[in-house]
Structure 1
Amino acid sequence: MTEQRPPLPPFTPETARRKVRAAEDAWNTRDPHRVALAYTPDSRWRNRTEFLTGREQIADFLTRKWHRELDYRLVKELWAHDGDRIAVRFAYEWHDDSGQWYRSYGNENWEFDRDGLMAHRHAAINDLPITAAERFFHWPLGRRPDDHPGLTTLGL
């Protein structure tokens, strides 16, 4: 049986936005195994300086990530799309075990298979130390509320 993750390519502006929001929602669960299911079994990633292949490596990476990046909250925004590819910009806030807050900014390039599973993900990310007072993302852990401002509105 074929796995499908609608919306499927080729993407329109509306379906690309829905795909981006679905990814944001999944990542905000901080459930590594749930997130990994959105990728092909042999998906290839570049995340900062790490290169991963397959769902097991993705889930292991995310487990380590969310063990280190506490109180993680993410906002993604569609940058561009074409056919089976989507470019995204994002920001997320988190703190380490010493209480130091960070805002991590980045860009992702995604390529999907015909069933809407992500086959390639290339991410470039920079971390900015911030104070707790500089945070923008204050919703309860989990899905970002629909009325919470996005990156453009926040000037990010």
Structure 2
Amino acid sequence: MATPPFNAETAQQKVKKAQDLWNTRNPEAVAKAYTPDCVWRNRDFFIKGTREIVDLLTKKWSREVDYRLRKELFAFSDNKIAVQFWYEYRDVDDGLKWKRCYGLEDWTFNDQGVMRKRMMSGNDITISDDERWFRNGVDVNTVAISEKHW
């Protein structure tokens, strides 16, 4: 596991490891990447600790069907990483319409390389099936994402 202080290679490794872990949609597995007292801001939710992380992710992925995520390294320093992300899902609360979320996260790690703080801000838009990037079988890392897609 990469530990602080991060360099470009270890920060990139952390980002892609997190991407792959989140794409499992397994709340218990994802929660293991965070300290037991980790604090989160996820949109308008403020939570702390493993149990609340698992609860939030369980609710999230019961509502966000066919979730597919891509994270990209935005910046890093000693024990911090900033990430830009995009994900797509079908929204159970909105008639299973396709949505895409655009957002940013900032992460702070302890000395062992475990995340102790995660702050996330994201915005959703409704998209048509034709506008989807992350179709089944597509490697999310190969999708060309540029400003023309916004």
* TM-score range normalised by the length of the shorter chain: over 0.9
Partners of 1:30 and 1:58 lie apart in 2 by 13
Cα 1:34–1:149, aligned 2, differ >3 Å: closer, same or farther? same
Aligned-residue sequence identity (percent) comes to 45
Amino acid at match of 2:51: E
- By relative contact order (CA 8 Å, sep 6+), the higher-ranking structure is 1
Q: RMSD of aligned C-alpha atoms?
A: 1.8
- The residue number in structure 2 matching 1:111 is 108
Q: Which runs of 5+ in 1 are unaligned?
A: 1-5
- The residue number in structure 2 matching 1:35 is 30
Pairing partner for 2:139 from 124, 127, 145: 145
Partners of 1:14 and 1:153 lie apart in 2 by 25
Is the Cα contact below 8 Å between 2:36 and 2:50 reproduced in 1? Answer: yes
Amino acid at match of 1:55: T
TM-superposed CA distance for 1:147, in Å, is 5.9
Amino acid at match of 2:88: E
Cα 1:110–1:99, aligned 2, differ >3 Å: closer, same or farther? same
Aligned 1:80-119 pairs, distance under 5 A = 80-97=75-92, 98-119=95-116
Amino acid at match of 1:119: R
Aligned 1:2-41 pairs, distance under 5 A = 6-41=1-36
Cα 1:155–1:10, aligned 2, differ >3 Å: closer, same or farther? farther
Number of residue pairs aligned between Structure 1 and Structure 2: 148
Q: Which runs of 5+ in 2 are unaligned?
A: none
